[in-house]
Structure 1
Amino acid sequence: MRALALASVLVLLHIFSVSGAPFIVKRYRKTQLEDQNYWNNLAQAELLRALGVEKNTNVAKNVILFLGDGMSIPTLTAARIYKGQQHKRGGEEGHLAFEAFRHMGLSKTYNVDKQVPDSAGTGTAYLTGVKTNYKTIGFDASIKYNDCQTMFENNKVYSIAKWAQDAGKRTGIVTSTRVTHATPASTYAHVANRDWECDGSITSEDMEKCPELKDIARQLVEEDPGFSLNVIMGGGYQNFDTNATDRPNDPLDNQWASCRRKDGRNLVSDWLKRKHDSGVNHQFIRSKTEMDDVDSSSIEYLLALFSNGHMPYEHEKKSLGLDVPTLAQMTEKAINILSAGDKGFFLLVEGGRIDHAHHDTLAHRALDEAVAMDEAVEKALSLTNEEDTMIVVTADHAHTMSISGYPNRGQEIIGLAAMGDDGLPYTTLMYANGPGYNYTVKEDEEEYQVSRWNITQEVATGWDYTQLAAVPRDSETHGGDDVAIYANGPMAHLFHTLHEQNYIAHAMAYAACIGANKDHCKDEPTTLTTMGIETTTAGGSTVASLPGVVVALLSALWLRH
């Protein structure tokens, strides 16, 4: 009996140690003893990997930019743990595919006029190389938000997509949002208001003031670089067709639709006619089934609009059996089509619904979307060669989600952390503001008492649970944090410190020999080595590196210890 009682006490102590409170929390266990030998060996292996990193100074034939919309550093940490726990591991010890890239840096995300940015100003920065104002696209900071009369030709800025097209490369955008949304629109559009996705969102007063004003959808099908994009994949069909109807057998199709056209036009038909008149091989599709049937080796231009509004969340595609491709499947098709060109390509892939989940304080969905983008990165890595393909993974801005509460190692990241001093449980993931501001009020004889909700692990880990938030808002705000940049392939070492966000476009263009720095590729680089110091001269510029000296010094220091 004493043994049974002792065992019961130990079980109770384990429950309290895992959760910090009298409720059971799922926990993933470590698979090996992490003693001093484990950590020393792990550090030595990482050191050897660092010492073995060499600069890849090849020209990038291809450039792929993965943009996790709202993928803050806490989102990366939580997604890494979530990914591991989906595979029955603790998660903390693992990594996302792109976290193993050879080089990384940080990006300052502020807009010219805002400390905390939006996706239009940031999209313009990392795609055109010029920072601009909040909620404006494709103009420098002389533009005034929502004022079409400040949209002048000489303050337009053009994206790396156009630079790539000018160099004869194929170009494409893949997104889980509407293809007219802020991030994809920043590759091709010029507007004073990011919400002008179709003419239905432009006021009659604006049209009177600026009769030549074109909505973003029209710019995509009528102007370059939009019309010359080889691959356009995402949602937003409702912005192109006045008579758009829901897709059959898709209960989510009208979700997140923005505006309806009021000009009576079908811009998809216009796109098809112009492509037909150009004599190029082209196709318009609306489902995964149709996408699977596209011949990647022969198609030159593909327009794919898989939903009226934003595309469904990844977990919805799977649980509802929707005929809608995942982000990884779209990425694979896009790369196969773009790779058929002789001169290489530029591709933007946006995991856009990370941001939407954060705005609704739906942390579970945000992490799932981040892992879905990681799967797309893995697919791109399997289809390309780092010798000629630069891959950059970054975010446009942060969010207000935090990771806190002293949960134990391996504790379920989307669940409960522990008990608060008020005797109620709280989650590991919470937000500074948003719709998750939930509370109850208890009235006694003398005063009102405000109390948090008594949530359970089952509720907290659901897809529709809104995390706790400190300040009530209908939509959670962005964060002003710096965000990470991960890079692999040719010239990836250009990302190495804290950068202004607009630097990203310039570094990618330099790697691919397009845009303002294309002249540096005219001369073949020559390398001289003297006393372990490499000096590379190309296009009139000289860059010195010290791999021999650094490795020798580090090796000597290691041997002394």
Structure 2
Amino acid sequence: MKTSLKASVALVALAAPAFAQDIAQADNEWFTAGSEAVMARAEAEVNTAQAQNIILFVADGNGVGTNYATRLFAGQQEGGLGDDYVLSYEAFPNAALVKTYSVNGQTPDSAPTAGAMNTGIKQRNTVINLPSEIAVDDCAAGLETNLTLLSEIVGDMGKEVGIISTARLTHATPAAVYSRTANRNWEGNADLPEGCEQRDIAAQLGDALESGLVDLALGGGGRYFFPEDVTGDEGYAGRRTDGRNIVEEVTGMGGQFAWNAETLEGLTPSLENGPILGLFEDSHMEYEADRTDEPSLAEMTAFAIDTLSQNEEGFYLEIEAGRVDHANHAGNLARVVTDGVAFAEAVQTALDMVDTSNTLIIVTADHEHSIAFNGYCGRGSNILGLCMDTNDAGIETNGEPMLAADGKPYTVAGYLNGAGSILAPVEEGGEFVGSRPELTEEEATDLDYLQQALIPNSSESHSGEDVAAFAIGPWSHLVNGVMEQNELFHVMNYALNAE
């Protein structure tokens, strides 16, 4: 059932400023575009049907600032100025700002943020899907407590569950779909403290594939699924010290396994005989800019939807672009935005394959990074390059670099901390001093360039800023305003159970 939002009084009120009197700028393209956009919103209908399918897209570390950089990059790659470009999910009818703090962190990591979206409660940094009173590393308490996961709710409804990540499948965001742990770093059994009886995260995924809690899992992290005396198909050694071969367990129960793009393409998109596991790297999958024999995020998305949609009851699919986060940590904006574009393409793939009348799609991030933007750049300044001056007589930048007080140019984007810091130690353990180097457009736009940063850190940090959430489909209008991150779980749960 769809409930119309159209109200004659509201329409009259909206129309009055445009038509009650002559407006000099009424023929201006910005004016007409703005008017049409508002009228489209006024005429929109909300979908209050029960959701058959849920797709949660998470671009790890893709806060409002990072998303802005990706938008400009995508638009400039297509020959535009970038500012007015619309990423696939930015056209969704509903959006909100999401507060990402954790129970004990003004700035969160991906464990409590992903956990909040999969359980409906905020959690403690480093801990996945345990109550907030459980301390980090409290193995015993972690064994005694648990939270109900969205995947379990969906499974009880007879639906399929899938996970995709360009990071390790045992990393925090994908792990939040199926695991509970007092430390997100306990990815393999060798990572567990001595005497801890908690199951490592990879073992929990193996259990979930065997029990049917998870039906499909595609991503990286093969090292944690093979024993140390076994070499994976790509030539890497396993790291399990308990002898468990989770890949053999999956194939032994009739399931299918893929380790590169070709073998994924050769799989049958069916769960009839067992689950599907794809492990495409020893650790994280390659950045999109470096990808060779690995499936793209869009290709994995298409395969997963093909497979999971065969269940008439529906599915829950979480899709993570995990390496947006890693490139931010490296201070390497070129790879951030390249993976960001790949993420937007995956969202478009899903939109092309599903019916949003019965599928709720939420696109969001778990947290932001310490990315920052300089001014006053003219339109068309390369988001990866130097901040160029505005053109007083035109639209596009005049092509002259803006200069700081030190007489040197600077980039459009930078970081507050990270490996690209302009400060360096005089000697080992000495005081940090430094000055900004000269910089050319060619140097700044190189794929491997690290953006200038202020505070020296080997790895740039997350920040506590809000992220955006975009939504389309049943009950997507509940994604609005300024929300707590755990409320996204409740939107999905409500849509699944609406009558």
Q: TM-score range by the shorter chain?
A: 0.7 to 0.9
Matched, 1:80 2:71: yes
Residue 279 of structure 2 corresponds to which residue in structure 1?
A: 305
For 1:159, the equivalent position in structure 2 comes to 149
Alignment of 1:266-285 (within 5 A): 266-273=245-252, 275-276=253-254, 282-285=255-258
SS of the residue corresponding to residue 448 of structure 2 reads coil
1:233 aligns with 2:218: yes
Residue 402 in structure 1 maps to residue 372 in structure 2: yes
The equivalent residue for 1:296 is 269
Give the counterpart letter for 2:409 in structure 1.
P
SS in structure 2 at match of 1:64:
strand
8 Å CA contact 2:423, 2:454 repeated in 1: no
**What does 1:28-427 align with in structure 2 at a 5 Å threshold?**
37-153=28-144, 155-204=145-194, 208=195, 210=196, 212-223=197-208, 227-242=212-227, 243-245=229-231, 247-248=233-234, 260-273=239-252, 275-276=253-254, 282-297=255-270, 301-317=275-291, 322-417=292-387, 418-427=402-411
Q: Which runs of 5+ in 2 are unaligned?
A: 1-24, 388-401, 427-431
The offset of 1:261, in angstroms, is 1.8
CA RMSD in angstroms comes to: 2.1
Deviations 1:45-100 (A, max 9, x none): 11121112111111111110000100010111111110011111111111111000
Deviation at 1:296, TM superposition (A): 1.6
| Aligned-residue identity in percent | 38
Note if contact 2:175-2:201 (Cα within 8 Å) is conserved in structure 1: yes
Return 5+ residue gaps in structure 1 as ranges. 1-33, 277-281, 443-447, 514-519, 522-561
How many angstroms apart in 1 are the aligned matches of 2:439 and 2:226? Answer: 44
Contact 2:97 2:468 (8 Å CA) reproduced = yes
CA deviation profile, 1:157-197 (whole Å, cap 9, x unmatched): 13211111110001100100000000000011111000000
State the distance in 1 between where 2:105 and 2:445 align.
35
**TM-score normalized by the length of structure 1:** 0.78
Task: Please tell me whether the aligned partners of residues 231 and 334 of structure 1 are also in contact (alpha carbons under 8 angstroms).
Answer: yes
Code of the aligned partner of 1:324: E
Matching residue of 2:465: 481
Aligned to 2:440: 456
CA distance in 1 between partners of 2:420 and 2:212 (Å): 41
On the 8 A contact 1:237/1:244 being kept in 2, the answer is: no
What is the alpha-carbon distance in structure 2 between the residues aligned to residue 226 and residue 454 of structure 1? 58
Conservation of the 8 A alpha-carbon contact between 1:174 and 1:331: yes
What does the per-residue CA deviation read over 1:340-359, in whole Å, with 9 as the maximum and x for residues that have no partner?
Answer: 00101000000110000000
For the residues of structure 2 that align with 1:296 and 1:246, how far apart are their CA atoms? 23
* Alignment of 1:468 onto 2:452: yes
**Deviation digits for residues 129-164 of structure 1 (CA, Å, limit 9, x no counterpart):** 1111000011110211012122143x3113211111
1-structure distance, mates of 2:260, 2:186: 26
| Distance (whole Å) between structure 2 residues aligned to residue 113 and residue 298 of structure 1 | 40
Aligned AA (2:303): K
Q: TM-score, normalising length from structure 2?
A: 0.87
Q: Counterparts of 1:378 and 1:303 in 2: how far apart (Å)? A: 24
When residues 458 and 245 of structure 1 are mapped into structure 2, their CA distance, relative to the original with a 3 A threshold, is farther
Alignment partner of 1:55: what SS? strand
Secondary structure at the residue paired with 2:416?
Answer: strand
After superposing on structure 2, the runs of 4+ consecutive aligned residues of structure 1 that deviate more than 4 Å are 223-227, 297-300, 439-442
Say whether the 8 Å CA contact 1:162–1:225 is kept in structure 2. no
Distance 1:452 1:224 in 2: 52
For residues 158 and 429 of structure 1, the distance between their equivalents in structure 2, rounded to whole angstroms, comes to: 41
Secondary structure of the 1:341 match is coil
Aligned to 2:395: none
- Contact 2:250–2:275 (Cα < 8 Å) also in 1: no
